[in-house]
Chain A
C-alpha cells in the first residue's frame, strides 16, 4: 500500500510518501500564495523523484493550515493528530512533542499508541513561532539557516522582555545601538522563544522522552534553549520538518 501525507503550512508545504511502513521519500517547498497549487506541486515533484505516479497512491491525507484546500486528498486531519502519529512512527517511545512551525507553536502529549492525550497551541500571536525568529534574523541581517549556530556562540544572552514581535524587534534594534554583541542578542532571542514555548509545554505537562518537530527543530539554538528551560534532552529526527506529512501518510493507511 502506498500512501502520501501532505502538510501545507503557512510558509512551507511538505510531502511524504510511505510504502508498507517504509519512507519512500519526502519533500519540502515554499507554500507561496496558492495553497492548493502548492499541495499539487509538492506531491508531483516528490512522485517524480521517487519514480511513482500520483495516481498510484492508495490514499492521501492532507494536514496543516491548508489541509482543506488540497482537493485530491482522501481526508483532512489536523496537524496535531498527524504530528502525534509521525513522532510515534519515528520513535514509539516518544510521549511529548514540541512543534514549532511558521505561524504557530504547539505542544502535544501522546499515549503509547501515538494518540493525542492533550495539546495546546500558542495564542493568536507570533511570539514563540518560526515567524518570530524570521523577523529577528532579518532585523539582524543574519541568514536564518545560520541563526541557530550563531546563537550557540552567545556567552551572555541579552534580555528580550517583550513578547510582541513588533516590540521585540525594536528592542533588538536598541540593543544593537547600545553595542550588545550580535551573538548575545541572538541567544536572547532564542531564549525568548524558548520561554514562551516552555510555558505552553508546562501547561500540558511534559512527559519524557520529548521530541521536537517542525522547521524550527533544525535550529540548534532553539533546541538547546528549550532543553535548558525544560531541563530535559530533546530528540530531533532528520525528518523533523516533514514529521507532520509522515504522520499524515501513516494515517492515510489506516
Chain B
C-alpha cells in the first residue's frame, strides 16, 4: 500500500506475542496425551465446545474437541479436501464444515494430526447448535460408544425456572453417566476445585481480552482466535490458569511498553462470528494495511461472557444455567445487548460481520442485527460472506472489494 511506513524486522519481532511458543507447547502436549490415552489407561471423551467439560476433568477423563480439531483443519488449509470427502460419503455441502471435516477425518485418519483419538464415550451439549446432535449421533454409531446429550433450551428473554430445573436435573444425570462410564464415583471435592479453576481461567481470559480496550490495542481478535484454544480444551485445569496469567501479564507489559499489534492503529473494529481459519493472516494483513485493528469479537468472548452467572461455590447448579446462556443460545435481543456492550467497551468505529455459511445459529439474524446496530448506534457495519473451514466459499476479490470499500467509507 502506498503511504505505509516501512516496518523493519526488529519492530516486527518486538510486536510478536512471546507467549505463543508456550501455547504451542501446551497444545502439543495435550494432543500427545490425548492420542496416547489408551496406553496410559486413561479414558477419552469427545465433547462439544460449549459443553460442561469441568466434569470430565474432575473424573480424570481427557476431553477432546472435534470443533477445535475442525479449526486446526481449517487453519492448515485441509478443509476442502476433507469436506469433499464427506460430500462423497453423502453428507450435504450445507452441513457445517466442522462436522464434515471431522467426520471425514474419522474415516480417513487424515488432517493435520492424523485424526482424533477414538472416544470412549461422547458428550454433546446443544447450547451451540442443533448440528452437533446429529453429528454426535453419527460418531456414536461409527465408534459404537455411548452418547450423553445435555439439552439446553433456547433462551428467548430470560431462563425460566422450569428450564433451570430441567438443565440442573440433567447435570446430575450427566454425573451418573460419567460414574458409570468411568467405573468410579465422582469426587465432589475435586469437582469443586475444578469448577473454581474453570471460573478462574474464564476471568483471566476476559482480562486478556479486555487489554484490547486500550488504545492502541496490544493484541487483536486474530490473536484472540489463536489463544482461545486453552479456554476450549483445558478449562478447569491449572495449566489454563497459569497460561492466561502469563498472557495477561504480557499484554499489560505491552501496554506499558507501548507495543501495538497494528502499527498505526487508527480504526478500531469489532468482529462477529467464527474466524475464517484459512485466511486469518490475509484478513489481518488486509485490515492492518488500512490501519484498522480488530480489537474485539463476539466469538472469543462467548466463553467468558457467561462467567458472571457462575457461583464458584455452587458450580454444579449455577454452571448449568450459565451454559444455557451462551451467546448463540439466546434471542437476537439478547445478542444485541451483548453486541452493544462490546461496541462500547472496545470503543469501535465499525462492525465486521462474517456471514458464515457453516454456522447457521451464529449467522441467522445477522442482517437484522446489522440493521439494529446501524439504526440504534449509527455504527457502520460490513457483512462478508465466507466459511470458517471450507475455502470454496471464499471469494478473495469480492471480499477484498467489500473491505476496501468499507474502509473508504470509514475514512471519508
Contact = CB atoms under 8 A, between A and B. Distances in A.
Interface of A: 65, 75-81, 104, 115-121, 123-124, 203
B408 A124 contact: no
Nearest to B397: A65
B398 A77 contact: no
A64 to B, nearest CB: 9
A118 B398 contact: no
Contacts of A75: 2
A124 B397 CA distance: 10
A104 B405 contact: no
Interface string B374-412: 100000100101000000010101100110110011001
B398 A121 contact: yes
Given A80-B405, A117-B409, A119-B405, 12 more contacts: A77-B404, A78-B405, A79-B401, A80-B408, A81-B408, A104-B398, A115-B409, A116-B408, A116-B412, A118-B380, A121-B398, A123-B385
B142 interface: no
Interface in B363-379: 367, 374
Interface of B: 2, 367, 374, 380, 383, 385, 393, 395, 397-398, 401-402, 404-405, 408-409, 412
B398 A124 contact: yes
Contacts of B367: 203
Contacts of B409: 80-81, 115-119
Nearest to A64: B401
26 contacts: A65-B397, A65-B401, A75-B2, A76-B404, A77-B404, A77-B408, A78-B404, A78-B405, A79-B405, A80-B401, A80-B405, A81-B405, A81-B408, A81-B412, A115-B412, A116-B408, A116-B409, A116-B412, A117-B409, A118-B380, A120-B383, A121-B398, A121-B402, A124-B393, A124-B395, A124-B398
B403 to A, nearest CB: 9
Contacts of B401: 65, 78-80, 121
Contacts of A124: 385, 393, 395, 398
Contacts of B412: 81, 115-116
A78 B380 CA distance: 17
A104 B374 CA distance: 24
Given A75-B2, A124-B393, A118 B408 contact: no
A110 B393 CA distance: 30
Contacts of B402: 121
A76 to B, nearest CB: 8
Given A65-B397, A121-B401, A78 B374 contact: no
Contacts of B408: 77-78, 80-81, 116
Say what secondary structure dominates the interface of chain B: helix
A245 B367 CA distance: 31
B395 A118 contact: no
A124 B408 CA distance: 22
Nearest to A80: B405
A89 B307 CA distance: 54
Nearest to B371: A203
Contacts of A203: 367
B252 to A, nearest CB: 38
A105 to B, nearest CB: 12
Contacts of B383: 120
Nearest to B412: A115
Nearest to A113: B412
Given A124-B385, A124-B398, A116 B405 contact: yes
B131 to A, nearest CB: 22
A118 B409 CA distance: 8
A76 B401 CA distance: 11
Nearest to B404: A78
B258 to A, nearest CB: 31
A118 B374 contact: yes
A76 B404 CA distance: 10
B349 to A, nearest CB: 15
Contacts of A79: 401, 405
A121 B385 CA distance: 10
A123 to B, nearest CB: 6
A118 B405 CA distance: 10
Most central of B380, B383, B401, B405 by chain A CB within 10 Å: B405
In order of increasing CB-CB distance, the 3 nearest A-B pairs are A80-B405, A78-B405, A81-B408
A131 to B, nearest CB: 14
A113 B397 CA distance: 28
A199 to B, nearest CB: 11
Contacts of B395: 124
A252 to B, nearest CB: 14
B267 to A, nearest CB: 16
Contacts of A78: 401, 404-405, 408
B393 to A, nearest CB: 7
Contacts of A80: 401, 405, 408-409
Nearest to A81: B408
Nearest to B382: A119
A163 to B, nearest CB: 15
A119 B374 CA distance: 12
Nearest to B411: A81
Contacts of B374: 118
Nearest to A111: B412
Contacts of A81: 405, 408-409, 412
A5 to B, nearest CB: 15
Contacts of A115: 409, 412
B139 to A, nearest CB: 31
Nearest to B3: A75
A123 B395 CA distance: 10
Question: Which one of B380, B383, B402 has the greatest number of beta carbons of chain A within 10 Å?
Answer: B402
A81 B398 CA distance: 15
B264 to A, nearest CB: 18
A77 B385 CA distance: 21
A65 B400 CA distance: 9
